[in-house]
Structure 1
Amino acid sequence: MSAPTLQRKLAAVGTTFQAIKDELRRDIAVSRLGTSKVSFSALAADLGFADAAAFQRAFKTWTGSSPGLYRARPVVD
């Protein structure tokens, strides 16, 4: 499928490739921050960010919290 066709099909269902990619990145980041001690720079690289600062800005946009505060939060069972 060509890129323009994919863009039209995604637009028809009210989303974009970037939105899907960001949702997946957010879900992976939340999971890994809660279950591992991976560094922010390693996690940023794994998720395809240029650097840790770009990851931290995106994470704060997605969740309203910095990755450090998110990792430090008390776990609710």
Structure 2
Amino acid sequence: MDVGYFGIIEPHFRSWGGGQVLTDLVILAVLACIWMVRDARERGLTAWPFIVITLFAGSFGPLLYLVMRELGGSDDR
């Protein structure tokens, strides 16, 4: 709360290694969003609330999607 949203991202621009970490996290978030949309379509669910959570809170979006998907039990996989 002290540094804000950009305060979390700013240290990643101080070095090439930090930039690589940020790039990796963005790539993983995009891949997770693609997976959530495809999986949600197969299961008859909506992924958009979890996509928004992923954009603002990172890995909490896919984590919550996995929990809600299993609690929903709409598919016998």
TM over 0.5: no
Higher helix share: 2
TM, length-normalised to structure 2 = 0.36
